[in-house]
């Protein structure tokens, strides 16, 4: 049993509009066992000076941040695909080219480096939306879940928790064209065989859990949607689905099915409280109503959506409809939860030409508690007794954060300001460095092996 007393210069506690000064946080193994503000009103007798055994956390300590939408291998495209013309669809062709060079070993190395980059940014849990299942030409590996196992191992080695959102991916278009070329590696044939493959897999290690994904209404025919949804219900697992990232998807779905993608998912029982729609950039008002009624979540990926010229999702309107919002770095154009979170507010400002749609505390919960819950970790994302001992400390003395009011980190800080990260009670990042991995070197080596 390991007990630790941490003394945070500032800590952002649940339900608080802004951080609290001088907070004693006690942890035993992977759990928070005490949270005590020491000044000014909390315990006036327990002065900060007497806590000689406590580990000092200078700066602002946040709960663990969640990255609810990742495709680890997309990191290999960063800085290589931003200069030309085109859109989501032309970028996708470049992304497919990388898949042809990935195997279980190269994917493990790349994903470990990417998850370690996330750790440095304060991310303690990731949702990996995983669809690169099979070998070249779609031939299953001897172990048909070896690619998923590589991702689970990668997260363990990088030190963060992972929800493997195993994606069902069957067709190339809404009207059911078959998978061809690189897409063949994604397919299981039909949803029943997808479920059989996923049922045969149990992730190794307490850091990982299973979830399901419907890649999109392009990739799963309407008559197979319920099979995936039923698997998720039966396993009490989160279910994620790419939704209305592109107007072209909405148009194709209306042409084939006479309804929007959200309408189609609702009709087939996909929208539930444990469901998260990823993007939801172009929903109709009726779509927002359906998601809100079901209490389904939406995972916004603002830096990817801006990079791919997708558009701006109606974040405030969705939150007002009762939809919990989470955040994902998706294509990993950047991995920076601060940039992702402030974009939720700043994009609304650009759209409405008005300020003040989301308070800093709203941005915190979007980046932490809601994201972990969307991944099935309902005991993470709050500095509260009984929750997982995840602590992310942001320095307030960098060139970006010096002189900033602590609550202002959401508008001023970057991932580079994260100095210390504790995951499940273990120090993973210290003094801005990963405790076991040379992350820039690992990224450079792993990407050189698969990018052109």
- Chain residues in the site for Zn ion (CB under 5 A): 330
Known catalytic membership, residue 279: yes
Task: Please list the residues that pair with 8 across neighbouring strands.
Answer: 23, 57
Please state the φ and ψ torsions of residue 433, each to the nearest 5 degrees: -120, 145
Smallest gap from Cβ 409 to Zn ion, in A, equals: 27
Our CB check for Zn ion shows the closer of 335 and 404 to be: 335
Residue with Cβ nearer Zn ion (59 or 238): 238
Q: Do residues 415 and 380 lie in contact, with contact meaning Cβ atoms separated by under 8 Å?
A: no
* Given the residues 22, 287, 330, 417, the one annotated as active site: 330
Q: Which is nearer to Zn ion, 153 or 243 (CB)?
A: 243
Burial of 386 (0-12, 13-18, 19+ CB in 10 A): exposed
Write down the least CB distance from residue 163 to Zn ion, Å.
Answer: 14
**DSSP string covering 38-87, please?**
-TTTT-TTS-GGG-TTSEEEEEEEEEPEEEEEE-GGGGGGTTTSSSSS--
Please answer whether residues 166 and 132 qualify as being in contact, where contact means their C-beta atoms are separated by less than 8 angstroms.
Answer: no
Structure tokens, 342:
């402030």
Q: Which residue, 330 or 348, has its beta carbon nearer to Zn ion?
A: 330
Q: Order of strands, edge to edge, in the sheet holding 161-168?
A: 65-70, 123-130, 161-168, 208-214, 239-243, 275-279, 297-300, 325-327
Please say which residue, 279 or 434, places its beta carbon nearer to Zn ion. Answer: 279
In the bound state with Zn ion, the residue whose beta carbon lies nearer, of 12 and 194, is: 194
Cα separation, 115 vs 280, in Å, equals: 25
Q: For this structure, is 438 an active site residue?
A: no
User: Residue 30 CB, nearest distance to Zn ion (Å)?
Assistant: 29
Query: Quick check: bond before 40 cis, omega within 30?
Result: yes
Three-state SS at 452:
coil
Q: At what angle do helices 191-199 and 222-234 cross, to 10 degrees?
A: 20
Question: Considering the complex, what minimum distance in angstroms separates the CB of residue 399 from Zn ion?
Answer: 33
Spatial separation of the C-alpha atoms in residues 210 and 355, rounded to whole Å: 39
Q: Which residue is nearest to Zn ion (CB)?
A: 330
Inter-residue contact 76 to 117 (CB < 8 Å): no
Tell me the closest approach of the beta carbon of residue 433 to Zn ion, in angstroms. 29
Could you tell me the CA-to-CA distances from 363 to 100, 294, 319, 408 in Å, in that order?
37, 23, 12, 11
Q: Give the nearer residue to Zn ion in terms of CB position, either 310 or 330.
A: 330
Residue number with CB closer to Zn ion (325 or 421)? 325
347-365 b/e with 16+ CB inside 10 Å = b? bbeeeeeeeebbebbbbbb
CA 138 – CA 293 distance, rounded (Å): 39
Give the burial string for 172-193 (b: 16+ CB within 10 Å, else e): bebeeeebeebbbbbbbebbee
Nearest CA-CA partner of 68 in 328, 278, 338, 444 = 328
Q: Could you give the CA distance from residue 385 to residue 405 in angstroms, rounded to a whole number?
A: 26
Q: Distance (Å, rounded) from C-alpha 76 to C-alpha 102?
A: 11
Residue 332 region by backbone torsions, left for phi larger than 0, else alpha for psi between -120 and 50, else beta: left
Nearer to Zn ion by Cβ, of 242 and 388: the residue is 242
Catalytic residue IDs: 279, 330
């Amino acid at each position: 049993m390991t007990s630790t007393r941490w003394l945070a210069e500032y800590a952002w506690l649940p339900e608080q509009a802004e951080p609290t000064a001088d907070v004693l946080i006690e942890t035993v193994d992977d759990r928070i066992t005490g949270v005590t503000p020491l000044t000014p009103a909390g315990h006036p007798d327990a002065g900060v000076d007497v806590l000689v055994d406590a580990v000092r956390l200078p700066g602002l300590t946040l709960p663990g941040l969640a990255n609810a939408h990742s495709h680890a291998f997309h990191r290999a495209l960063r800085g290589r695909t931003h200069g030309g013309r085109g859109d989501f669809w032309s970028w996708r062709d470049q992304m497919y080219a990388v898949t042809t060079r990935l195997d279980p070993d190269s994917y493990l190395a790349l994903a470990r480096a990417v998850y370690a980059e996330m750790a440095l940014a304060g991310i303690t849990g990731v949702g990996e939306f995983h669809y690169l299942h099979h070998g070249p030409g779609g031939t299953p590996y001897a172990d048909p879940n070896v690619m998923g196992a590589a991702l689970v191992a990668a997260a363990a080695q990088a030190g963060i928790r992972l929800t493997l959102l195993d994606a069902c991916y069957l067709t190339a278009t809404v009207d059911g064209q078959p998978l061809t070329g690189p897409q063949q590696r994604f397919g299981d044939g039909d949803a029943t065989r997808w479920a059989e493959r996923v049922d045969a897999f149990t992730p190794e290690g307490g850091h990982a859990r299973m979830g399901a994904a419907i890649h999109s209404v392009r990739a799963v025919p309407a008559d197979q949607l319920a099979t995936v949804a039923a698997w998720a219900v039966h396993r009490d697992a989160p279910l994620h689905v790419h939704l209305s990232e592109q107007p072209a998807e909405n148009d194709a779905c209306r042409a084939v099915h006479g309804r929007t993608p959200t309408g189609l998912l609702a009709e087939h029982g996909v929208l539930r409280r444990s469901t998260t729609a990823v993007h939801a950039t172009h929903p109709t008002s009726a779509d927002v109503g359906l998601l809100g009624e079901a209490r389904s979540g939406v995972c916004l990926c603002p830096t990817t959506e801006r990079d791919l010229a997708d558009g701006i999702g109606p974040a405030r309107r969705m939150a007002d409809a009762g939809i919990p919002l989470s955040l994902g770095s998706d294509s990993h154009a950047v991995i920076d939860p601060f940039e992702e979170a402030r974009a939720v507010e700043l994009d609304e400002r650009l759209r409405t030409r008005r300020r003040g749609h989301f308070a800093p505390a709203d941005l915190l919960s979007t980046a932490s508690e809601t994201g972990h819950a969307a991944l099935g970790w309902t005991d993470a994302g709050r500095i509260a007794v009984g929750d997982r001992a995840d602590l992310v400390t942001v320095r307030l003395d960098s060139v970006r954060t010096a002189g900033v009011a602590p609550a202002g980190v959401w508008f001023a800080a970057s991932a580079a300001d994260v100095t210390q990260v504790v995951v499940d009670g273990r120090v993973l990042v210290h003094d801005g460095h990963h405790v076991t991995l040379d992350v820039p070197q690992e990224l450079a080596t792993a990407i050189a092996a698969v990018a052109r």
